[in-house]
Structure 1
């Protein structure tokens, strides 16, 4: 098994440095972007349609299962915590510190918040507050080297299944989402997050769910995966929107790579 214990170990060496190592052995970033988008989009559809076995335990294991399923065709480390510290958008704060095991701390907060909330009884404003609090902790955990946004999107919809709402991310702009996510980060050298900036966002994207679709228990899926292996030809599939939500290498803490904070869309 490959060793992913350093920033460089996630990337191909020169002249392909900057491209994440991947199962298709694609060295061109654009090719990888297309391949990843098509593969993950298909797996995401399976998860959201409920055709995959996912234990909705709302803890670290749940988050890992989602990531492992979404990125199983792309990265050998799918479902594994990142081994390096990261930041995005030039933020001096960075995400959860690997050395002090903050990832598990934040995901423990996520589990406590989800399990301690009576989601089925929440009105829109209350749902917006509760969902924002959960996501702020999940986003700060940022458990994986790549794909945190898409993993969080599925996880938050699993949370929303316990309520009278579903999540319509098209109701907010990427800029609105990114700014609110960035503002929820803790102060430098501090632990607590600030979910207040995300409350208007989650209140806005909360769409009323058909009552028959609500799942107050939030239990494990009992449906087996009907399509365990899908072949994705590099560079194939639709091309008009392949770069949307595409994978780009993240940045070591303290190094700016542009504003892509928050959830990939």
Structure 2
């Protein structure tokens, strides 16, 4: 896989894009987007109802397993790290060589937090820090947002809260989520993300849930 997808153009049917190579053989971008949405929605439902088991190890392999399950029927490189740099608007995500370190930091942060005892503000701050690192890693060529959101739902299971991404519940509309995510990137020339912009977003999306929360194995 790495040898095939080793340059920007190698991910596309034609040099310069715009349609990503896909397992459907689909060359119409609008049709691909719809098929991708339908496929990933179905896979996410299967994960949520327990029909598909994702080992919750809260590390790079956990995130890769989510991406592989969501996109494995769409892209050959599902679950594999991207080999090219990615920019979006003013955001420049991690260099491909730095992706493993960012995801190692994600695991370190999760295992260092006492999720089970958190109040809403503590949960919002911890979740924002974790997601800021996940977002900056942006480990995949496509599908980082959907994979990252599902990963964060798994993280929230360690706490007394669940994350509700519905704007009708949280008031967090997609443009606010995208702006907060963009602002969480590192300062130019720096490594560490700046999660402050994401804290109020996760506070708004945190919904207290009944029942026992599960602590993470710190071993």
State the TM-score bracket (shorter-chain normalisation): over 0.9
- Equivalence for 1:188: 188
Kindly indicate whether residue 129 of structure 2 is the aligned counterpart of residue 152 of structure 1: no
Structure 1 residue runs of 4 or more that deviate by more than 3 Å after TM superposition: none
CA-CA distance at 1:71 after TM superposition: 0.3
What is the TM-score with the length of structure 2 in the denominator?
0.93
Instruction: Please say which of residues 124-133 and 172-181 is displaced more in the overlay.
Output: 172-181
Q: Report SS of the residue matched to 2:92.
A: coil
Q: Flag the 1:204–1:193 CA change in 2: closer, same or farther, 3 A.
A: same
Paired with 1:134 and 1:29, the residues of 2 have a C-alpha distance of 32
Which residue of 1 is the match for residue 122 of structure 2? Answer: 126
1:176 is aligned to: 176
- Structure with the bigger percentage of helix: 2
Compare 25-34 and 41-50 and name the one that shifted more. 41-50
Is 1:185–1:194's contact at 8 Å kept on the other side of the alignment? yes
Query: Unaligned stretches of 5+ in structure 2?
Result: none
Provide the alpha-carbon RMSD of the alignment: 1.7
Whether contact under 8 Å (2:66, 2:147) holds in the other structure is yes
- Higher RCO by CA contacts (8 Å cutoff, separation 6 or greater): 1
SS for the counterpart of 1:166 is strand
State the alpha-carbon separation in 1 of the partners of residues 199 and 137 from structure 2: 19
Q: Does 1:166 align with 2:165?
A: no
Residues 218 and 75 of structure 1: is their aligned pair in 2 closer, same or farther, counting only changes over 3 Å? farther
Partner of 1:224: none
Could you tell me which residue of structure 2 aligns to residue 7 of structure 1? 8
Question: How many residues end up aligned between the 2 structures?
Answer: 213
Q: Report SS of the residue matched to 1:151.
A: helix
Equivalent runs, 1:1-265 vs 2, <5 Å: 3-13=4-14, 17-89=17-89, 91=90, 93-98=91-96, 101-170=97-166, 171=170, 172-212=172-212, 214-217=213-216
After superposition, the C-alpha distances for 1:147-193 in whole angstroms (9 at most, x for unaligned) are 00000011000000000100111210112111111111011121011
Separation of aligned partners in 2, 1:109 and 1:4: 26
Once the 2 structures are TM-superposed, how far is the Cα of residue 210 of structure 1 from its aligned partner?
2.2
Alpha-carbon distance in 2 for matches of 1:48, 1:154: 9
Contact 1:48 1:154 in 2 (8 A): no
Shift of 1:96: 0.5
Distance 1:42 1:65 in 2: 16
1:248 match: none
Partner SS for 2:131: helix
Equivalent position SS for 2:139 = coil
